[in-house]
Amino acid sequence: MPQSQQNRRPAAQAVPLHRKVTVLGSTGSVGTNTLDLLASDTQKFRISALTGGRNALLLAEQARKFRPGFVALADESEYRTLKDSLAGTGIACGAGDQAVLEAAAMEADVTVAAISGFAGLKPALTAIEQGNILALANKESLVCAGAYMTVAAQKSGCDILPVDSEHNAIFQVLDNRSPESVKRLILTASGGPFLRKSRAEIADVTPAEAVAHPNWSMGAKISVDSATMMNKALEVIEAHYLFGLQQERIDVLMHPQSIVHSMVEYIDGSILAQLGASDMRTPIAYALAWPERMPTTGDFLDLTKPQNLEFLPPDELRFPALALVREVLKAGGAMPTVFNSANEVAVAAFLDGAIGFTAIESLVAAAVEDAATRLPAPENLEDIFAVDQEIRALTSERIARMPKTRL
Ligand SMILES: NC(=O)c1ccc[n+]([C@@H]2O[C@H](COP(=O)([O-])OP(=O)(O)OC[C@H]3O[C@@H](n4cnc5c(N)ncnc54)[C@H](OP(=O)(O)O)[C@@H]3O)[C@@H](O)[C@H]2O)c1
């Protein structure tokens, strides 16, 4: 089991009772949920740094409330708005990718990686190098550079704690047991808003319909990923790196109620699960307080109400991403990055109304098929960034050649 899965730090490296926390992506869905929890115990938590992408006004509002040492916005064109909004507060601020990396390098006991997409990779790696705790929501970074992040964490002594509710559930349930005792991991999947629709029925869905997740309130990109089941496919890769198991031992099970957040089946036939409300504050709180627990401001599950828990095998014809990810993991090398980068470009195009919903899957499949025979395995991180750039360019070209949609 990787170093990140040792559920107790040695006493010499014990996590302090009062914690300095940095939130990368504080203006997003995971970020604002994190700040909600941090506000609930200002004695225990102090904010070291906050970062946003473009939302200067929200970032400034958060900075005024939490008084971090530094705030950074990725979008340099919004720097003036951020600076003016913080005038007179004495809070240092910066803008641009370098400023976000500076924030990620600030001294913090826990850094929450909640930037969306590949853009979160460098900041996550920078935080890992500090050798403390990385509470990882940004699954795309692990998908693209899992081996590098794991090795970097081992080198620096960083604990990578999963915030994704499924992986957080497995992390809680594994609780330091040896990998030999695990038969398989079972990732549950709600199936998103189109679970019961046929492929013909999803051909014309709009971005507004795709982001309307029945159980979870999340950012736009992950909501679309949930609708295509790319999210679950990315999570299979994430689980592979986090828990060190081959893809054959990572199963997906449809569970439309999102109450059982995931399970571990042991070799003796026992299945252990973590249950809870569909509220990201529970897994975030677990990562913030680990190895202890903290009270949350979120909803609790009421087991006295009828729950009707359903479990169904996934339909890989209906959701081709689930079959494709198996090929991607078997091939290894550059393929997880190809899979992720094509998806990021395709989802952005769908949200812009440039392509239809099912084109997301076709574009990802085309990128994987084309790259499989062509791209060598990356030898270093620079190679991974080069693969990302190339696949973004190729997918954008493919989109430009597609007939315009009616959206
Ligand atoms: N939301 C959930 O419940 C949930 C659950 C499990 C896992 N996750 C994972 O957590 C991550 C965040 O998801 P989310 O739903 O919170 O996304 P989100 O609401 O879209 O928020 C994304 C955050 O990243 C910032 N950002 C965007 N582009 C950036 C860039 N190029 N450089 C720096 N910062 C940038 C955004 O800033 P601005 O808004 O200021 O532009 C925002 O703070 C994703 O990897 C997702 O898969 C989310």
Q: Whose alpha carbon is nearest atom 28 of ligand 1? A: 53
Q: What's the chain's average pLDDT?
A: 93
The answer to whether the CB of 343 falls within 8 A of the CB of 230 is: yes
Residue 11: the pLDDT is 46
Strands (E) located in 7-65? 19-24, 45-52
Residue 299: the pLDDT is 78
Higher pLDDT, 215 or 367: 367
Mark whether 120 and 227 lie in a shared domain. no
What is the per-residue pLDDT across 328-382, written as a single tens digit (0 to 9) for each?
Answer: 999 999 999 999 999 999 999 999 999 999 999 999 999 999 998 899 999 999 9
User: Coil, strand or helix: which one is 92?
Assistant: strand
Residue 405: the pLDDT is 59
Mark whether 214 and 292 lie in a shared domain. yes
Choosing from 24, 30, 59 the residue with most ligand 1 atoms within 8 A of its CB, the one to mutate for a pocket test is 30
Tokens standing for residue 394: 């190729």
Is residue 339 included in any domain, yes or no?
yes
Is residue 123 included in any domain, yes or no?
yes
Is residue 315 included in any domain, yes or no?
yes
Residue 108: pLDDT band with limits 50, 70, 90: very high
Mark whether 324 and 189 lie in a shared domain. yes
Least confident of 49-63, 170-184, 315-329, 375-389: 170-184
Residue 1: the pLDDT is 38
Please give the radius of gyration of the chain, using alpha carbons only, rounded to the nearest integer: 20
For ligand 1, what atom is nearest to the CA of residue 31? 16
For ligand 1, what atom is nearest to the CA of residue 97? 32
Ligand 1 centroid vs 374 CA: distance in angstroms? 31
The answer to whether the CB of 210 falls within 8 A of the CB of 203 is: no
Domain that holds residue 68: 3-163
Ligand 1 centroid vs 238 CA: distance in angstroms? 17
Q: Is the pLDDT of residue 182 over 60?
A: yes
Residue 14: the pLDDT is 63
Mark whether 368 and 279 lie in a shared domain. yes
Residue 9: pLDDT band with limits 50, 70, 90: low
H/E element, 275:
strand 271-275
Least confident of 94-98, 211-215, 321-325: 211-215
Mean pLDDT of 124-140: 98
The answer to whether the CB of 297 falls within 8 A of the CB of 40 is: yes
Q: Whose alpha carbon is nearest atom 13 of ligand 1? A: 116
Ligand 1 centroid vs 135 CA: distance in angstroms? 14
Is residue 331 included in any domain, yes or no?
yes
Mean pLDDT of 190-219: 92
The answer to whether the CB of 17 falls within 8 A of the CB of 42 is: no
Domain boundary among 142, 163, 184: 163
User: Coil, strand or helix: which one is 51?
Assistant: strand
Give the CA angle between residues 173, 237, 169 to the nearest 5°: 20
Ligand 1 centroid vs 180 CA: distance in angstroms? 35
* Integer Cα distance of 18 and 393 in angstroms: 45
Ligand 1 centroid vs 164 CA: distance in angstroms? 12
Mark whether 90 and 155 lie in a shared domain. yes
Mean pLDDT of 170-190: 91
Q: Whose alpha carbon is nearest atom 8 of ligand 1? A: 137
In 71-82, which positions are buried (b, 16+ CB within 10 angstroms) versus exposed (e)? bbbbbeebbebb
Mark whether 246 and 340 lie in a shared domain. yes
Residue ranges around ligand 1 (CB below 6 Å):
25, 27-31, 52-55, 74, 100, 114-116, 119, 137-140, 164, 216, 218-219, 221-222, 280
The set of residues, in sequence order, having a beta carbon less than 8 Å from that of 78 and lying 6+ positions away, is 54, 55, 56, 95
The set of residues, in sequence order, having a beta carbon less than 8 Å from that of 394 and lying 6+ positions away, is 342, 367, 370
Residue 49: phi and psi, rounded to 5, are -150, 155
Residue 369: the pLDDT is 96
Mean pLDDT of 234-258: 97
Mark whether 102 and 179 lie in a shared domain. no
Q: Is the pLDDT of residue 6 over 50?
A: no
What is the per-residue pLDDT across 288-334, written as a single tens digit (0 to 9) for each?
Answer: 999 999 999 777 999 998 888 999 999 999 999 999 999 999 999 99
User: Coil, strand or helix: which one is 188?
Assistant: strand
Least confident of 4-13, 137-146, 373-382: 4-13
Ligand 1 centroid vs 231 CA: distance in angstroms? 14
Ligand 1 centroid vs 116 CA: distance in angstroms? 3
Q: Whose alpha carbon is nearest atom 43 of ligand 1? A: 25
CATH of the domain at 193: 1.10.1740.10
CB-based burial label for 57 (10 Å; 0-12, 13-18, 19+) = middle
Q: Is the pLDDT of residue 7 over 60?
A: no
Is residue 406 included in any domain, yes or no?
no
Is residue 394 included in any domain, yes or no?
yes
In the numeric block, the tokens 């935080």 are attached to 127
Please tell me the total count of domains within the chain. 2
Q: Whose alpha carbon is nearest atom 45 of ligand 1? A: 138
Domain boundary among 163, 181, 205: 163
Domain boundary among 136, 163, 190: 163
Least confident of 12-21, 58-67, 128-137: 12-21
Mark whether 197 and 333 lie in a shared domain. yes
Is residue 179 included in any domain, yes or no?
yes
Residue 159: the pLDDT is 97
Ligand 1 centroid vs 25 CA: distance in angstroms? 6
Mean pLDDT of 47-72: 98
Is residue 407 included in any domain, yes or no?
no
Residue 248: pLDDT band with limits 50, 70, 90: very high
Ligand 1 centroid vs 179 CA: distance in angstroms? 31
**Inter-CA distances, 327 with 288, 321, 335, 337, 373, Å:** 35, 10, 9, 13, 13
CATH of the domain at 52: 3.40.50.720
Q: Is the pLDDT of residue 406 over 70?
A: no
Mark whether 215 and 128 lie in a shared domain. no
Q: Is the pLDDT of residue 48 over 60?
A: yes
For ligand 1, what atom is nearest to the CA of residue 234? 47
Percentage of residues in the chain with pLDDT exceeding 70?
95
Mark whether 192 and 153 lie in a shared domain. no
* Integer Cα distance of 229 and 223 in angstroms: 10
Mark whether 156 and 209 lie in a shared domain. no
Mark whether 86 and 150 lie in a shared domain. yes
For ligand 1, what atom is nearest to the CA of residue 222? 47
Choosing from 26, 75, 116 the residue with most ligand 1 atoms within 8 A of its CB, the one to mutate for a pocket test is 116
